[in-house]
């Protein structure tokens, strides 16, 4: 059985690593790893491969940056040739980035079976490009591997055949569990003992100067009482005024590799973010998470975990931060099957497609 994995951006890397590892020693399995190059900066790509123990990609499509249409179209054109040359039995796609949707559509049109890892998540906000990617990918996929039971419910409501849906748990947690001990040791010396960790990158927060200014004002105010560590995404840094005088306790950092950022998350008194993956990681770690968004495709982190949606209202963000500092953070529990074993369950399910591939070839 030949399984071709397609990844393109930082969130995909944490998800593919456990699956590659779980399939490595399975009998009769050949794997091909395709990196589309959607994230191409070494700080956002190469260092993650190294820290997660992911082998060098067999193929790099080097699509680079561009508009959503340009990036998606380039992936589609380049992945088509790869699929025709490599003839995989199954294409495994991860998450909700442009590379995921592009590879899924091309594979489906070529008659190659598609497995979507992290299927069924919905924000119900179609202004988010990721939501469009999720909807399209799940409609063309043959096997939908979900991280939480609310994702199963979303797929059933959309009319997906129940026989295609498998609840396998959150595979990104596998990487966290495996690397957390080393991540804790990797926290730089001199890191404050008490701090709030911040990451912002979504266009809705950083492209509008007024919104970004309001959020930064809250952080500056908070920095008077506690240290604030802010690894600045390249998208965000481009929009911040480099000449502004930041409070001494508001530390603007370069983007951090996975290991270092995970270590900082584990020790933070709270995390302020607009990232989907960080909502999940903080829930597992038991760290309060304040999500600067009006909605989330990971509602289980709110209903069961430590996540609170604060929108972009600075008053709400300020109040929730004060609750944490006063010793009243939100408590939560770990959702079912967020146990570090999802990679093995995914491998088992991918191999069930082997029978279907054989039957299909026999019919032809």
Quick: pLDDT tens for 171-195. 999 999 999 999 999 998 899 999 9
> pLDDT digits over 297-325, tens only?
999 999 999 999 999 889 999 999 999 99
Secondary structure class of 233 (helix, strand, coil): coil
Side-by-side strand order, sheet with 289-291: 250-253, 227-231, 195-199, 270-273, 289-291, 307-309
DSSP 145: E
CA distance 286 to 344: 24
Q: What is the CA radius of gyration of the chain?
A: 20
Q: Is beta strand 59-60 parallel, antiparallel or unpaired with respect to 30-35?
A: parallel
CATH superfamily of 2-170+338-363: Glycogen Phosphorylase B; (3.40.50.2000)
CA distance 307 to 281: 10
Residue in 35, 39, 116, 201 annotated catalytic:
201
Q: How far apart are the first and last CA of the chain?
A: 18
* Residues ≥6 apart with Cβ < 8 Å to 241: none
**Closest to 48 measured CA to CA, from 77, 76, 10, 79:** 10
Question: pTM for this structure?
Answer: 0.92
Is 178-325 assigned to CATH 3.20.10.10? no
> pLDDT digits over 239-290, tens only?
776 657 778 889 999 888 899 999 999 999 999 999 999 999 999 999 999 9
- The mean per-residue pLDDT over the stretch 17-27 comes to 96
Which helix (H) or strand (E) covers residue 167, if one does?
A: strand 165-167
Q: Is beta strand 113-117 parallel, antiparallel or unpaired with respect to 143-146?
A: parallel
Least confident interval from 229-238, 272-281, 292-301, 337-346: 229-238
Secondary structure class of 289 (helix, strand, coil): strand
Confidence of residue 238 (pLDDT cuts 50, 70, 90): confident
Q: Which residues of 103-132 are buried (b: 16+ CB within 10 A; e: fewer)?
A: bbbbbbeeebbbbbbbbbbbbeeeebebbe
**Is there a contact between 308 and 320 (Cβ–Cβ < 8 Å)?**
yes
Neighbours of 294 (CB within 10 A): 13
Secondary structure class of 2 (helix, strand, coil): strand
CA distance 253 to 148: 33
Neighbours of 348 (CB within 10 A): 14
Residue 210 has pLDDT above 90, yes or no: no
* Residues ≥6 apart with Cβ < 8 Å to 168: 145, 146, 147, 337, 342, 345, 346, 349
Helix-then-strand count for the chain, H and E: 15, 13
Residue 361 has pLDDT above 60, yes or no: no
β-sheet bridge partners, residue 113:
90
Q: What pLDDT does residue 206 have?
A: 86
Q: Which residue has the tokens 């109040």?
A: 319
**Closest to 172 measured CA to CA, from 10, 24, 4:** 10
Q: Is beta strand 165-167 parallel, antiparallel or unpaired with respect to 143-146?
A: parallel
CA distance 2 to 86: 9
The CATH 3.40.50.2000 domain(s) of the chain lie at: 2-170+338-363, 178-325
**Closest to 133 measured CA to CA, from 281, 273, 297:** 297
Q: What is the token pair recorded at 169?
A: 């748990």
233 labelled catalytic: no
Q: What pLDDT does residue 283 have?
A: 98
């Amino acid at each position: 059985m030949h399984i071709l994995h397609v990844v393109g951006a930082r969130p995909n890397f944490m998800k593919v690593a456990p699956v590659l590892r779980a399939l490595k020693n399975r009998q009769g399995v050949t794997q091909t790893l395709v990196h589309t190059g959607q994230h191409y900066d070494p700080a956002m790509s190469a260092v993650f491969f190294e820290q997660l123990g992911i082998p060098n990609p067999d193929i790099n499509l080097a699509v680079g940056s561009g508009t959503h249409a340009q990036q998606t179209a380039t992936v589609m054109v380049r992945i088509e040739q790869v699929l025709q040359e490599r003839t995989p039995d199954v294409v495994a796609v991860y998450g909700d980035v442009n590379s995921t949707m592009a590879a899924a559509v091309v594979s489906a049109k070529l008659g190659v079976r598609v497995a979507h890892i992290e299927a069924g998540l919905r924000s119900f906000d179609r202004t988010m490009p990721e939501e469009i990617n999720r909807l399209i990918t799940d409609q063309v996929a043959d096997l939908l591997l979900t991280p939480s039971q609310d994702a199963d419910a979303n797929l059933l409501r959309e009319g997906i055949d129940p026989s295609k849906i498998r609840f396998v748990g959150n595979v990104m947690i596998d990487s966290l569990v495996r690397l957390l001990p080393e991540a804790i040791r990797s926290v730089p010396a001199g890191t404050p003992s008490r701090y709030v960790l911040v990451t912002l990158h979504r266009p809705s927060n950083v492209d509008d100067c007024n919104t970004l200014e309001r959020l930064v004002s809250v952080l500056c105010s908070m920095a008077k009482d506690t240290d604030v560590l802010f690894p600045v995404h390249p998208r965000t840094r481009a929009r911040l005024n480099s000449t502004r005088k930041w409070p001494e306790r508001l530390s603007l950092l370069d983007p951090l590799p996975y290991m270092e950022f995970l270590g900082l998350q584990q020790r933070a008194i709270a995390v302020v973010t607009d990232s989907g993956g960080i909502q999940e990681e903080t829930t597992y770690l038991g760290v309060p998470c304040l999500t600067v968004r009006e909605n989330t495709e990971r509602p289980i982190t709110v209903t069961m975990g430590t996540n609170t949606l604060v929108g972009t209202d600075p008053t709400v963000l300020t109040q929730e931060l004060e609750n944490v500092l006063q010793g009243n953070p939100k408590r939560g529990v770990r959702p079912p099957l967020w146990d570090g074993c999802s990679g093995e369950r995914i491998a088992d399910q991918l191999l069930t497609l082997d029978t279907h591939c054989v039957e299909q070839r026999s019919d032809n």
